[in-house]
Structure formats: structure tokens, C-alpha cells
Structure 1
Amino acid sequence: MKRHQVTIVDIAKKLNLSKSTVSRVLTGHPSVSDKTRQAVLELAEQLDYQRNMLSISLLNRKSNTIGIIVPEFISSYFPQVIMGAQEVAAEAGYNTIICHSNETYETEVANTKLMLANQVDGVLVSLTKETRNFDHLKIFERKGIPIVFFNRVCEDMDVPKVMVDDYEGAFRAVEHLVKRKKKRIAHLAGPDSLPISVKRLKGYKAALKKYNIPIDEELIIPYDLSIGKVKIYVNHLLRLANPPDAIFCINDPTAIEALQIVKKKGLDVPKDIAIVGFSNDFASDLIDPPLTTVSQPVREIGSTAAQLLIDQINRDVSEWKSIIKVLKTELIVRKSS
């Protein structure tokens, strides 16, 4: 038997109140007495009343919902960012819709359509490795819906962004390897479509230049972040006539995979070849040897991005500001280097 869904009319009848009074209570309107508010909320809880969020959003022109679009869940990075964002959103009275684009442009486009269909008040986005066209994201701007990028940002859009100092983090990682007497430092880089890849590559090159170590393009391998390809590239590096004595990786999943491959070859880490990652993923401290990595304030990235988004939602469209927040990284030295 189908269960009757409790409506505002049911609550109004039981309390002998008008529908408009009950509606004002359930939508948080201030012009209701405390006694009436308490009676309505208590009965609503007893009857397990579920608000029709679409109807409320049509009335208020707000859904009190924000969207979060992330490219992957391979590492702990994006789940931690989401947790940081959700804490701020919940405190401000916002629900969250989370979409995973699985590193594909087509899925990211579909995710944005879902966000628009659910009438989100704003959206946090980290781009896929494939995203080079941003028309689907510019729709939010045209509709007056705030958007904030984090980590993998769109430099073509003049909107708020939250990122870390990727250049500085990469510079310090490579400088650390140089100070460990490493001279042939390879770099497994990310795709040049991502600004973080470009900045980390620049940091890598700047550190080598500072210490007068020639930049050997043979040791720089950009790749599409597909972990299955790491074995191909690491084996290629090890087969060089003059192989590297260290590898700086674009992120921790790449570094962890590289470390396992090097060990299977019977090489000692870090004596024969040192390995450094970027992100300080949960797994980086659990492998053998533990991974040296560049730590990012991941929760802070999420909370900062969410607060920027909510600030934008609460402003008039004409007052939106394209704030850029750049957070600091920290080199965590472990036994892989």
C-alpha cells in the first residue's frame, strides 16, 4: 500500500493554521511567533514531513544547494577537499550535490547539466585532464550562478579560484633531491592542459637551473595521468643509457606506482633511485619505503573554496569578485628520498 506523503495542508489542518503560516515556518521566514514555529516544527518531525525542495526553490529562487564536480577518486585528495567544503556548506545551511567526472570531458559536461537541472545556487569545479573547451562552464556565468574553481582551474574564466603554490612546491621537492646528491632527476609530468602540470614543470626546471644541472628533455615525460601507463614510462627511463637517479612525480598515485615498479626491478629506493610525489595522499605514508611528498592543505582548499562560493551567492551579481587564493605547501621528507 502506498504511503501518504505528508503535505503542508496536513500540518495546517491539524494545527488549525493557514497554509501560508505553515509554509513560512518550514521555509525559515522570520515573521512567525516562536510558539507557532515550535508547534509546526514538532508536528512536522512527528509526521516525518519531507520538504519539496523544488517548490521551495521556485518560491525563494534559491535551492540552498551547491554542486561539487571532481575529476577522480583514485587518491584521497578529492574526498578530503569535499569534506572540507561540506563542513562549511552545512554550517551555512547548504546541501551539496557531488558529481564525479571520471577524468572525461563528456561526463563533466553531463555533470554541469545535472547541476543546472537541480537549480544549484553555485558550483565548485576541478577540471578533468581532457577539458580544453569551457563553454559548458560559462553557462553558469551567463545564468548568474557563481562558480569557483579549485586545484585544476580554468584560467580563461575570470572567477574565483583556490589552488596551492604548485611552482614553489615542485621547486622545493627537486631542490631536496639535488641536496641528496641526485644529478639525473626525471619528471613524470601531467598533461599541459592542466595549469598545475605547467607550474610544477616550471618549478622542476627552475630548481635544476638554480643548481646548474642541465635540463635533459629526455628525462621529462608528460603523460595523461592514466596510472596503467606509469610502468611503460618508468621502464623507459630505466632503460636509458644514462638512467635517472631520482624521479619527481606529478602526484602521489604516480609516485607510488613508480616506486613499486622500481622495487620490482631489484633497485634500492632511495639509494639507486629516489622518488618524490606531490599531494601527501593517505597511502604515501603506508608504502615501503614511505614516500617523500609535497603536502597540500587539502581540507583548507575545500573549506576556502566553499566559503568563497557562499560569499558569491550572497552578493549581487554585479559585485562578484575574481579572487585567487594561493595556499602554501610543505615538503614532507620520508625514506623514499
Structure 2
Amino acid sequence: MEENKDVTIYDLAEKLKLATSTISRALKDHPTISSKTIKKVKKMAEEMGYVPNTLAAGLRGNKTNTIGVLIPTVTQPFLSSLISGIEIAARKSGYNVIIMQSHDSYEEEVSMAKSLYSSRVSGIICSLGMKTVDTTHFQQFVNNNIPIVFVDRVPKDFNTFRVIIDNHAAAYKATVHLIEQGCKRIAHITAGSEFGNLYNERKRGYIDALTKYNLPVEKELIADLKTVTYNEALKASDKLLDLKNRPDGLFASGDIMAVSAIQSAKKRGIRVPEDLKVIGFNNDPISEIIDPNLSTITHPAAKMGQMSAEIILKSIKFPNKDEVKEITFLNTEVLVRESSKKI
């Protein structure tokens, strides 16, 4: 089967109706070329996925047998487990993995995506950064038939594979668990809507569970963090537990947020779980270290990584197979520990 042809300056010249010498000089910001032409050539080069010939000549026609992984950070337990799953599946098929971190920066994510494309990866797996709202920087992969899978933090409107859990259903189960333990006034710590669909869906699951069980949805019991950090979550927990009519249950969209609530409660002499029942999300290692051990929602990170890699590998093997880019929902479970048990 014929492999995809690399975009060359000849393709750019034909598209723009310019001489190849003009294209070459424009790409090098040559002073004899007008700024208007330089801008036009560079824009078209980016849209068509052009890579300078110094790199393309060495790689043209060759497979790199490398999968690019673009994630916010390697320090989060969920994402490190995700990477492990990707690497195991990739290496079984003779592929290497390049890992790049966006640090939740949109600008860095754009830059890292370009670097991965320039490295001629065979496919890319990405979990979006917190601040990413525009995903056009991934179009260069689609335009050149390089398979892409979004995992966990995924765009709503990008037509490619997604591997995610049902965040709404998972949050609903977590909230129902607290209700079943006797909680009547349940708080929720999450991230603001600007951080994407994942946290929005968890909040929606929390609200739907309260509504289903005829419990009030109170604005003062919902804390939207500006940054997803322990310190920000601790401030939010302090505020919630200082309410005159404080909550008797708390569902946090991440384990680090839930741990902050337990620490805040301890400072105030509020007993967990006797006075406050807490459940988190992700089953991070810290959930078993904190006292009392934290109830949480399992999040099959390694399995999600493995599945993402398998989709990439299948797409590389059958590049022209026309199939639906369906969303894959992976099951989650409530993992009950001491922090939420009815005493």
C-alpha cells in the first residue's frame, strides 16, 4: 500500500501559484520577499503540514515506529499510569513512545504538537491541557492521515477517536453512595467550567443525583476551583466547613481535593466519617495513605492507555479503513473505604 507523500515546497508553489524559489525564500524570511507573501506562504505551509526538507529528506518514506504522547504532566498518578498502559501496548508491537508535557498551557501544547509532527510520529495520543479551547493545532495530523486518539480530557467537536469514562455516571454513583450513607447536605469541589467538559460532566452527575433523591442543589455548597491544586482545594474546603449549616457529605472531582477536605475537617475537630463523609475520584495512591483511607471512584488509567495505543496501532495497520470514530466508555466503580462508611 502506498504511503502518504510528504508535503514539499513544490506542493506549496502549486497551491499558491508562486515559484519554488519564492516559497523557499519566504520560509526563510528572506528580505527580498514581502512580509505579506511570507505570511501567506507560512500559513499555507502550516495548513498543509509542511516540514522543512532538512528533516523530511532524512525521513521521507520511512516509518518512525514511534507514537507521540502529549499530556499535561507526568507527575499526576492517573497520567503516569496512562503512560504505562500506552508503553506496554506500543512495545509489544515494536513501537517506541515519545512523551511531551504541555503543563496545562495552550501555547506549550501547540508547540509540542508541532514538535511531534516534525518528529514524524506514526500516531499521537493526547490528553488536553486545562486551558485548551481551540484544537486546530491537531488538524495537521488529520490532514496527513496520522491517527490521533484523545483520552480522558477530550474535545467535544474534533472528529477522531476518544477514550473516556462516563464522567456523569461516575459522579452520579459517587453522590448516590453518600446519599445511601445518610448524607442530606452534600458539597461538591470541582474545577471551573473553563477547564473543560470532564469537570462539567462530574458536576452534572452530582446535581442529577441530588435532584433524583429530592435533595436541594445549593450554590453555596459547590466550590469551583480556579486552579486544580491542593492549596486551592484546601481554601475551598475551609470555606465549606466554616458554613453555619455545614455539609455532612462531600464529593470531590479529584482525590487531592478530597484529601484537602479531610485535612480541613481535622483542623476543625470535624470527624470523618462520623460528622462528614468524603469521597474522591481517581483512586490515586494518596487515597490509601490519608487517614482515614479515602473512598473514591476507580479510573482505569492503564487500561485507557492500552486501549488508546491499540486504536493507534490498528489505524496504522489499516490506514484506509473507513470506520466510525466512536467514543469508548470505560466502566468505573465506587471503591468504599473508611472516609464515607456509615458508622
What range describes the TM-score normalised by the shorter chain of this pair?
0.7 to 0.9
Instruction: Provide Cα deviations, 1:32-77, integer angstroms capped at 9, x if missing partner.
Output: xxxxxxxxxxxxxxxxxxxxxx799725432100111111334311
Query: Does the CA-based 8 Å contact 2:237-2:260 persist in structure 1?
Result: no
Corresponding residue number in structure 1 for 2:209: 207
Matched, 1:93 2:75: no
1:230–1:278 distance in 2 versus 1, CA, 3 Å: same
- Secondary structure of 2:202's counterpart equals helix
Distance 2:243 2:149 in 1: 43
Q: Which range is displaced more, 324-333 or 101-110?
A: 101-110
Matched, 1:331 2:334: yes
Percent sequence identity over aligned pairs:
35
Deviation at 1:284, TM superposition (A): 0.7
Distance 2:88 2:264 in 1: 38
1:177–1:57 distance in 2 versus 1, CA, 3 Å: farther
Matched, 1:170 2:171: yes
Deviation at 1:94, TM superposition (A): 0.7
Matched, 1:297 2:300: yes
Deviation at 1:169, TM superposition (A): 1.0
Distance 1:84 1:249 in 2: 26
Corresponding residue number in structure 2 for 1:143: 144
Deviation at 1:310, TM superposition (A): 1.3
* Moved beyond 4 Å, runs of 4+: 54-57
Distance 2:98 2:158 in 1: 23
1:60–1:231 distance in 2 versus 1, CA, 3 Å: same
Query: Does the CA-based 8 Å contact 1:75-1:253 persist in structure 2?
Result: no
Deviation at 1:105, TM superposition (A): 1.3
Instruction: Provide Cα deviations, 1:129-158, integer angstroms capped at 9, x if missing partner.
Output: 111111212222122211100000011101
- Secondary structure of 1:279's counterpart equals coil
Q: Give the TM-score normalised by the residue count of structure 1.
A: 0.80
Query: 2:220 corresponds to which letter in structure 1?
Result: E
Query: 1:180 corresponds to which letter in structure 2?
Result: Q
Q: 1:195 aligns with which of 197, 212, 230?
A: 197
- Secondary structure of 2:164's counterpart equals strand
Deviation at 1:128, TM superposition (A): 1.0
Query: Does the CA-based 8 Å contact 1:312-1:320 persist in structure 2?
Result: no
Corresponding residue number in structure 1 for 2:85: 84
Distance 1:91 1:300 in 2: 15
Deviation at 1:274, TM superposition (A): 1.4
Q: Which has the larger radius of gyration?
A: 1
Instruction: Provide Cα deviations, 1:70-94, integer angstroms capped at 9, x if missing partner.
Output: 1133431111111111111111111
Query: Does the CA-based 8 Å contact 1:278-1:293 persist in structure 2?
Result: yes
Alignment of 1:239-258 (within 5 A): 239-258=242-261
Corresponding residue number in structure 1 for 2:186: 185
Give RMSD over aligned pairs.
1.8
Deviation at 1:279, TM superposition (A): 0.6
Instruction: Provide Cα deviations, 1:151-172, integer angstroms capped at 9, x if missing partner.
Output: 0001110100001121111111
- Secondary structure of 2:281's counterpart equals strand
Corresponding residue number in structure 1 for 2:222: 220
1:320–1:56 distance in 2 versus 1, CA, 3 Å: farther
Q: Which range is displaced more, 55-64 or 306-315?
A: 55-64
Matched, 1:281 2:284: yes
Query: Does the CA-based 8 Å contact 1:57-1:63 persist in structure 2?
Result: no
Query: Does the CA-based 8 Å contact 1:129-1:191 persist in structure 2?
Result: no
Query: 2:67 corresponds to which letter in structure 1?
Result: I
Corresponding residue number in structure 1 for 2:318: 315
**Aligned pairs, how many?**
284
Deviation at 1:296, TM superposition (A): 1.6
Query: Does the CA-based 8 Å contact 1:251-1:278 persist in structure 2?
Result: yes
Distance 1:176 1:117 in 2: 48
Deviation at 1:120, TM superposition (A): 0.5
Distance 2:141 2:99 in 1: 17
Deviation at 1:197, TM superposition (A): 0.8
Q: Give the TM-score normalised by the residue count of structure 2.
A: 0.79
